Amino acid sequence: MNRLNGQYLTRIKNTRLESSPVKKWLHEYSRSFSYVGLVVATLLFAGSVSPSLLPRPPVVQGILSGFVLAIGYGIGVLLVLTWRFLQLPIVSDKTKLWGKRVSTVMVGIIAFYFVWSTSDWQNSIRERMDMPPVESAYPITFFTIAILWSWGLVLLARFLLRCNRYLSAKLRRFVPRRIATGISTFIVFLVTIFVANGVVTDGALNLADNFFLQADQMIDEGIERPERSLVCGSPDSLVPWDMIGRKGKTFIAGGPTAESIEAVTGETSLEPVRVYVGMETIDDEVSQAKLALQELIRVGGFDRSILIVATPTGTGWLDPGAVDTVEYLHNGDTATVSIQYSYLPSWITILIDPDRSKRSARALFTTVYDYWKGLPKNGRPKLYLQGLSLGSLGSEDAADLLTIFEDPIHGAVWSGPPFPSQQWKKIVHDRNPGTPEWMPTYRQQRIIRFTAQENHLQIDKPWGAMRNVYIQYASDPMVWFSHDLAWRPPAWLNEPRGPDVSPQLQWYPLVTYLQVAFDLAISTSVPVGHGHNYSPASYIDAWIGVTDPEGWTPEKIALLKETIVPPIDPDP
């Protein structure tokens, strides 16, 4: 009787499927997915919703989770194909059935817990960055985006597999099956790489290049050409105003005046000197550097007490928090010179040509330094380096050891050193034992010190002849991203953690690597003082430690930190 009832129910089920083509298609389509692929995909998806360095908007979380879902599914399918290719023992149907039941329950519980905890995990980061909590619709929004995005990626992968099978079938007429499969796979792989690099990547880069080039040729509201003769870009300047670039114009025309400095310091001040040579001004970085030197001499830059060779970010931007602060601290008795090497964001420039900032910084520093060291030592300004993000990467590589020993400069302030920086990486690796990676101490701290949101410079300890300070935040993905995150937990997750890093952040193989990689694109989307968005207060601490200005009491320093407003739209 039970057997007859079972056959009857099966017949009814098949009849319903045959009567509904949509249901039949859905049934067959669902069966086309690899169970192992779905299990691996779900586990990686669960890990992708865990916290990383920065809070992620629902759209970014959805794209990340969808990408991880697709990768996880691909890994699972590859495991099954490898098992079959190696002709390993096939699991019995009974074992397979029970294995599916148990794994489905376990994976389902894990996925439910992780998705349920998503809002709390995101808020654990947002709370430390003084951001409002996520909205209640956050899990639904990102989950929907993740499913749609991963489905599209899987469809693309299946299309490539069909192309592979079709080509393999054609080749089997001439060669054995396994050789045909290998050849077809290699051909499809090459074509995919060619299309991805030659069409998609190049097209996206050309689109970005055109967009940011047009943006660089615009002028921000309220920025006008200076009329005073001894100002870069003026009618008497050696640098044409129209060729300076958007960020350069903002740098030249912005910044504090002598009057605004006096209003804060209460002391007589000078107009700060700023020189900037854009990419459109002249052909190459060496010519740019020579023109910058000529203009710096013309406007009296070497008559100031402080001379800063600043390397901009990828967009050509110089952080006002880095430049304005030192001008206040020295009552305008400063000169800052810089040349543009790119108009693309730092994270794009790093992917395209990470050495571009190094070539530019080295050309400018060498040109200025050669002139500076020829001046009388008791009549020349103190010489410093400064750079943020990709500018830090270039700036720290500008001066070689011979320069330091021959006629040393006075120091540097580098903020947000990006992960390709070899000098910074070696210093952090060789830090004093027992100090955390995100806030290390190096040897006796006479030449190099680190600081963050809180001042860690230990002013009471003696400096050497040259003072260098790195500003780095524990939540900055531009600093802490590395390729070995895919297979090895990072040292910056060890206790004690940074003040703005979630205690619930855990390392997962491959997943954490992808999370921090996605964090790179949103590194400045967090409030000032977190991520890759460096605070003027941190620069004030650094410049005081490096340049040792006179007359700055704790009360005056606190007033300056309250006075200088961080940039609304940071643009590294």
Mean pLDDT is highest, among 18-27, 130-139, 176-185, for 130-139
The 10s digit of each residue's pLDDT in 321-377 is 999 999 999 999 999 999 998 877 777 777 777 788 899 999 999 999 999 999 999
Residue in the block written with tokens 């090497």: 341
Q: In this predicted structure, what is the pLDDT of residue 432?
A: 94
Under the banding of pLDDT at 50, 70 and 90, the label for residue 568 is low
What confidence score (pLDDT) does residue 569 get?
62
Q: What per-residue string of b and e applies to 104-117 under the rule 16 or more CB within 10 Å gives b?
A: eeebeeebeebbeb
| Residue 218 confidence class, pLDDT cut points 50, 70, 90 | low
Q: Which amino acid is at 378?
A: N
The structure's pTM equals 0.87
Q: Distance between CA atoms of 161 and 151, rounded to whole angstroms?
A: 15
User: Which of 218-232, 250-264, 276-290 has the weakest average pLDDT?
Assistant: 218-232
State the amino acid at position 20 in one-letter form.
S
Question: Residue 421 is encoded by which pair of tokens?
Answer: 């920086």
Say whether pLDDT at 19 is over 60.
Answer: no
Q: Which of 151-155, 168-172, 345-349, 514-518 has the highest mean pLDDT?
A: 514-518
Per-residue pLDDT at 24 exceeds 80: no
**Alpha carbon distance, N-terminus to C-terminus of the chain:** 75
Determine the average pLDDT of the residues in 107-126.
Answer: 88
Q: What is the pLDDT of residue 503?
A: 93
> What DSSP state is assigned to residue 91?
P
pLDDT band at 82 (very low <50, low <70, confident <90, very high): confident
Three-state secondary-structure class, residue 401? helix
Rounded Cα distance, 317 and 232, in Å: 16
Query: If you ran DSSP here, which 8-state letter would residue 554 be given?
Result: H
pLDDT band at 171 (very low <50, low <70, confident <90, very high): confident
Which residues sit opposite 306 in a β-bridge? 334, 382
pLDDT value of position 451: 96
Which phi and psi (to 5°) does residue 504 adopt?
A: -90, 0
DSSP 90-103: PPPHHHHHHHHHHH
Q: What are phi and psi of 173, to 5 degrees?
A: -70, -20
At position 178, the amino acid (one-letter code) is R
Q: Which has the minimum average pLDDT: 5-9, 61-65, 124-128, 324-328?
A: 5-9
Between strands 334-339 and 306-311, the pairing is parallel
Among 82-96, 456-470, 515-529, the range scoring the smallest mean pLDDT is 82-96
Predicted local distance difference test score (pLDDT) of residue 165? 85
pLDDT of residue 96: 72
Band (pLDDT 50/70/90 cuts) for residue 412 is very high
**Quick check: 32 pLDDT over 80?**
no
Q: Give residue 401's pLDDT band: very low, low, confident or very high (50, 70, 90).
A: low
- Nearest-angstrom CA–CA distance, 44 and 46: 5
Q: Are strands 448-451 and 306-311 parallel, antiparallel or unpaired?
A: unpaired
203 vs 223, more confident? 223
Nearest to 535 by CA among 129, 119, 6: 129
pLDDT tens-place string over residues 270-300: 999 999 998 887 778 999 999 999 999 999 9
Q: Determine contact, residues 549/250, Cβ cutoff 8 Å.
A: no
Average pLDDT of 438-466?
A: 90
Whether the link from the prior residue into 58 is cis, omega within 30° of 0, is no
Q: Which helix (H) or strand (E) holds 184?
A: helix 177-195
Number of other residues whose CB lies within 10 A of the CB of residue 85: 10
Confidence check: pLDDT of 48 > 50? yes
Task: Using the predicted structure, report yes or no on whether residue 550 has a pLDDT greater than 50.
Answer: yes
Please state, in angstroms and rounded to a whole number, the distance separating the CA atoms of residues 56 and 456: 29
pLDDT attached to residue 212? 59
Mean of per-residue pLDDT scores for the chain: 86
Contact criterion met (CB below 8 Å) for 337 and 398 = no
Q: Looking at this protein, which amino acid is placed at residue 307?
A: L
**pLDDT of amino acid 11:** 53
Instruction: Kindly state the average pLDDT of the residues 508-514.
Output: 94
76 vs 353, which has greater pLDDT?
Answer: 76
Angle at the Cα of 421 (from 465 to 209), degrees rounded to 5?
125
3-state secondary structure of 336: strand
Q: pLDDT, tens digit, for every residue of 418-446?
A: 999 999 999 999 999 999 999 999 998 99
**Single-letter residue type at 398:** A
Q: What CA–CA distances, in Å, run from 197 to 473, 498, 521?
A: 34, 38, 20
The per-residue pLDDT for 570 is 67
197-211 tens-digit pLDDT: 665 555 665 666 566
| pLDDT recorded at residue 79 | 86
**pLDDT value of residue 8:** 46
> Would you list the domain boundaries of the chain?
33-171, 217-473+534-563
Give the tokens for residue 526. 């967090």
Question: HEC states along 481-535?
Answer: CCHHHHCCCCHHHCCCCCCCCCCCCCCCCCHHHHHHHHHHHCCCCCCCCECCECC
User: SS3 for 430?
Assistant: coil
Mean pLDDT of 91-101: 75
Q: Does the pLDDT of residue 381 top 60, yes or no?
A: yes
- Tokens, residue 162: 């069909």
Residue of 457, 473, 450, 469 whose CA lies nearest to 526? 473
Cα dist from 154 to 33, 488, 518, whole Å: 10, 28, 20
- pLDDT band, residue 4 (cuts 50/70/90): very low
* Closest listed residue to residue 463, CA positions, set 543, 545, 384, 382: 545
Confidence tier at 2 by pLDDT (50, 70, 90): very low
Measured CA to CA, the distance from residue 324 to residue 183 in angstroms comes to 61
Give CA–CA dist 274/255, Å, rounded: 9
The tokens describing 529, both together, are 């003082």
Where helices occur in 274-421 by DSSP H, the ranges are 285-298, 320-329, 346-352, 356-372, 390-395, 401-406
Q: List phi, psi (to 5°) of 163.
A: -60, -40
Q: How far apart are CA 191 and CA 167, in angstroms?
A: 13
Instruction: Give tens-digit pLDDT for 490-502.
Output: 999 998 999 999 9
Please check the confidence at residue 16 and state whether its pLDDT lies above 80: no
Average pLDDT over residues 517-542: 94
Kindly tell me if the per-residue pLDDT of 217 is higher than 60.
Answer: no
